[in-house]
Structure 1
Amino acid sequence: MPNWFSRLIGREEKASVPPGLIALQFAARAAWSPRDIPALMREGYERNAITHRCVRLIAEAAAAVPLKASNAAAQRLIDQPNPDQSGPELWESFYGFLQLAGNAYLELASLEGEPRELFVLRPDRLRVLPGPRGWPQGWEYSVDGRKRRFERDPVSGRAPVFHIKLFHPGDDYYGLSPIQAAARALDLHNAGGEWAKALLDNAARPSGALVFNGGDGRMSEDQFNRIKHQLAEDHGGPANAGRPMLLEGGLDWKPMALSPADMDFTQARREAAREIALAFGVPPLLLGLPGDNTYANYREANLAFWRQTVSPLTRKMARALAVWLRPWFGPDLVIEADESGVPGLKELDQ
């Protein structure tokens, strides 16, 4: 149990406590997380199980869809992008960043004009450089205080950086992350978990006030310090959960917080979890969320996930990748997402 008593009235008390009131808690305004991408990635992927699972589901499913290129050299580049990663590993990171930041970037390393390797660039480290006409003419990558600049070749049209983004109606250069759309639901879900944890730390009891009704409504400094010490030592922490409080004459306990049933925070967390899943396009049934009967069974939910979320994403990426690589491999290059190579997808359609 956090020492709320001493926190609220921990100021130096020289003489006595105001009449009748020992402790009082004031309602605070809702606090929302910062809306910048690094902060949302931390609050979402690192600290929220629903967002983490949504991103993993989409990234792993999309990376499992093979990409087929009409050019053998382009196919080798897709299947073996660099010495440290296989194709699925690189594409999983790529799709993961796309879901987290709304933007995903690839760097093409070439030797004497011949494409050799592909690398994923972190979107929080990369900045688009607008040209004089408003179109992106380059990119700047910052890491460890150093900056590296990439520029498009105005003659050949070759760009060393591949940038794909999710639709953003208010930004010309960057995409909109699903986490940004679900930011308030994310805060609500995280706050519900923190509230539950704080409740356990607080001996699984709501906060309240000790009211002194004896005498003239005042207690001596010695009485005040003794009660404060007793609350901190005998009723603080999970080990003292449920321990009854013995009150002396003139002391009365007044609960000042709503009960879990009144707040219904569990249901609020479930609704927030469904809203997060909705933003990512993941059926809540796949996340094991109770009370969701949108789909008749798991099979239908899985099929909807593939058809409405994964398939449009992989097809969009394959066509954009082909456009980006054509200046190197020729105008006839075609790249397609081969869904026939996904195990189990045909069975879902049947």
Structure 2
Amino acid sequence: MAFVATEGKLKSLSRLELPAASRLQLTDSLSMAYYELWRKQSAVRTTVNFLARNTAQLGIHVFERRGDEDRRRITDHPLAALLRKPNPHTTRYRLIDELVHDLAIYDRAYWQKILTKDGLAALARIPPDYVTEKGESWLYPEYFEVKGSNGKIDVPADQIVFFHGYSNTGIAGDSPLEGLRQTLAEEFESSNMRSQVLRNGARVSGYIERPVAAPKWEREARMQFREGWRAQYTGNGPQSGGTPVLEEGMTFKNASQTAEQLQYIESRKLTREEVAAAYFIPPSMLGIMGSATFSNIQEQHKMLYQDTLGPLLQQIKEEIELQLVPDLTDDELYVEFNLDGKLSGSFEERASAIQTSVGGPYLSRNEARARENLPPVPGGDELITPLNVIIGGQASPSDVTPTAPGISNGAEPPVEETEEETQ
């Protein structure tokens, strides 16, 4: 017997759970907003900016599906125009850059659809701190409450493009920064400690030992010595960082710690590695070159767009197709990020591979000139095929290998006739 639960019954089982406050508790007495963590914590800012910049750099193309093996890129459709210029004040790069920043910091992001009498006209980002999901269904928000300094408004769900990650009971995701709570708390405490110690790094730090056999020190003399020491050798004193001259057999016991003893560089490097791991970024991409070589950096660069950014790009692509495409067309359109330029090799590698694949030259002179921003020349639209490049033969003139003088490539060397064979 089949059990069927209608959407109405299903969504009435539980109410929408609002996302937690966008703050991270670093210590018992200190919490910091996610945005402030990104703004002030160098490892978080470097990592998130790296993700956002490398995603925003990619173009978004619109395609029409014409079959399982046929598609056509669309450039004059309203969807392509909207993604190319979301609104009169925002570029495509900035819209995607802000989107990835929001997802990486909050695990949720919002675009509001700007509607006119002619339909969807523009897209505008709304900061996550200003938005709250509302409604009785835990399946999806029924509307969004947007707060500002002058009040609040309710925006219908169909006027918001809502991006979010995983959450167990709520509709919005959980910030990746929550998984870094312990790492960031330790970095905060150790950074404060190192800062306090290193603040005295150029000054004499320690204590003075006075021999037992030294003359009795009257209180007035002791206070005078202490005040003189503070005035000369600490803070901004005239002899701060200098070498003091002690009397009565006194000795100075150094108690300062160097940056090396405090493991200043190592701790900063460890924090950056932990944050990079939380966002699945190869360490060498963020300047951590401990085990980097020329070959593995090349492979990690490819891995960045396949394993690190691949899932993120797919998430953005599918949300656009689900929440934005139906507002503009009924056609089978879909979007894709342009990864060709990032995943392809160098120009020489690509040219060699293409030329070998097609079996001959593949660019005309005018096509080559266009790539260099040069004007076309008469007769430059025809392919030049060298005489030693034939179908079924060499793919290019560069396939010629050095041979002995008088021997053409691919030909057998002449056989010298012996005197007996001539007879």
Contact 1:65 1:314 in 2 (8 A): no
Per-residue deviation, 1:219: 6.1
Residues 218-243 of structure 1: CA deviation (Å, up to 9, x unaligned) = 86266336514522542225986642
Contact 2:105 2:177 in 1 (8 A): yes
- Residue 291 of structure 1: SS of its match in structure 2? coil
Alignment partners' CA distance in 1, 2:90 and 2:46: 22
Alignment partners' CA distance in 1, 2:209 and 2:139: 66
Q: Counterpart in 2 of 1:168? A: 167
Q: Counterpart in 1 of 2:296? A: 297
Contact 2:141 2:171 in 1 (8 A): yes
Q: Does 1:138 align with 2:132?
A: no
Q: Counterpart in 2 of 1:315? A: 314
Q: Counterpart in 1 of 2:85? A: 80
Alignment partners' CA distance in 1, 2:318 and 2:232: 65
Per-residue deviation, 1:331: 5.0
Contact 2:204 2:240 in 1 (8 A): no
Contact 2:79 2:325 in 1 (8 A): no
Residues 97-152 of structure 1: CA deviation (Å, up to 9, x unaligned) = 11122111101010136000101111112111132556411111222142122123
Deviates most, 208-217 or 112-121 = 208-217
Equivalent positions of 1:151-230 (< 5 A) are 151-152=156-157, 159-169=158-168, 171-189=169-187, 193-204=191-202, 208-210=206-208, 220=219, 223-224=222-223, 226-228=225-227, 230=229
Alignment partners' CA distance in 2, 1:240 and 1:304: 55
Contact 2:47 2:276 in 1 (8 A): yes
Per-residue deviation, 1:330: 4.3
Alignment partners' CA distance in 2, 1:95 and 1:238: 50
Name the CA shift for 1:221/1:302 in 2 (closer, same or farther; >3 Å): farther
Alignment partners' CA distance in 2, 1:229 and 1:238: 10
**Does 1 or 2 have the higher relative contact order (CA < 8 Å, sep 6+)?**
1
Per-residue deviation, 1:209: 4.7
Name the CA shift for 1:328/1:267 in 2 (closer, same or farther; >3 Å): same
Contact 1:208 1:257 in 2 (8 A): yes
Alignment partners' CA distance in 2, 1:118 and 1:172: 26
Contact 2:233 2:240 in 1 (8 A): no
Per-residue deviation, 1:31: 4.1
Residues 24-52 of structure 1: CA deviation (Å, up to 9, x unaligned) = xxxxxx9479555xx23223x32233322
Q: Counterpart in 2 of 1:41? A: 35
Residues 46-97 of structure 1: CA deviation (Å, up to 9, x unaligned) = 2233322222221121122222334711121111110011112211111111
Identity %: 18
Contact 1:41 1:100 in 2 (8 A): yes
- Residue 297 of structure 1: SS of its match in structure 2? helix
Q: Does 1:98 align with 2:103?
A: yes
Q: Does 1:114 align with 2:113?
A: no
Q: Name the aligned partner's letter for residue 283 of structure 1.
A: P
Contact 1:188 1:269 in 2 (8 A): no
Contact 2:197 2:257 in 1 (8 A): no
Q: Counterpart in 2 of 1:264? A: 263
Q: Name the aligned partner's letter for residue 92 of structure 1.
A: D
Contact 1:108 1:117 in 2 (8 A): yes
Q: Name the aligned partner's letter for residue 79 of structure 2.
A: A
Alignment partners' CA distance in 2, 1:330 and 1:130: 28
Per-residue deviation, 1:189: 4.1
Alignment partners' CA distance in 1, 2:46 and 2:237: 30
- Residue 298 of structure 1: SS of its match in structure 2? helix
Contact 1:32 1:187 in 2 (8 A): no
Alignment partners' CA distance in 2, 1:333 and 1:216: 97
Deviates most, 108-117 or 229-238 = 229-238
Contact 1:315 1:336 in 2 (8 A): no
* Aligned residues: CA RMSD: 3.5
Q: Counterpart in 2 of 1:329? A: 328
Q: Does 1:148 align with 2:153?
A: yes
Deviates most, 174-183 or 114-123 = 174-183
The structure having more radius of gyration, on CA atoms, is: 2
- Structure 2 regions of 5+ residues with no counterpart? 1-25, 65-73, 351-423
